[in-house]
Amino acid sequence: MKKATRTIALSVLVLLTAATFAMAAPEPVNLGQDANKMQWYLVNYGKGEEYPFASARKYYTNPEEKSKTVGLICEKFGISNETASGLYFTEYGYAYSADGKEFAVTYISHYDMAGQLIKSTEYAPSDREYVKMSKEMIPFKVYPYSVGKLPAKKPAPKK
């Protein structure tokens, strides 16, 4: 009886934790395609302890661009072509300067279609290179979300 009670309690805890994370995560925002015909989504954003941040995903909807990225992953990281060819999306983390005019990449993670990590690179604060933003850049487009100027789109009500 004790084991069954623990199992039920653990199950309830897991469900509550999952529900809490689901409510806390912002709804993805479709950012459309970039100049290379790659589809972008904003998947996380907000104000961290030290700086505003955002995470955006680039889906490989252009086979030529995917091929270039696969080649770079193989060359730079020594990952097999078979593994790298499973590339489906890349997620970028951005940190913003205090004045909101510059951004730095905090991480780049490449994933396959099943959401399995192919390769990830993280940049320590001391290694981040801040770059001035322009209106055409994805980091510029997602910045207003990270500072609360634009809210996430609410999901459509279920029928």
How do the pLDDT tens digits run along the chain, 159 residues long? 554 444 443 343 333 333 334 345 568 899 999 999 999 999 999 988 889 999 999 999 999 999 999 999 999 999 999 999 999 999 999 999 999 999 999 999 999 999 999 999 999 999 999 999 999 999 999 999 999 888 766 555 555
Q: Which residues, at least 6 apart from 86, have a Cβ–Cβ distance to it below 8 Å? A: 112, 113, 116, 118
Burial category of 144 from C-beta neighbours within 10 Å (exposed 0-12, middle 13-18, buried 19 and up): middle
pLDDT at 154 (0 to 100): 57
Task: Measure the CA angle with vertex 30, ends 24 and 36; round to 5°.
Answer: 135
pTM of the model: 0.78
Cα 43 to Cα 138: distance, rounded to the nearest angstrom: 12
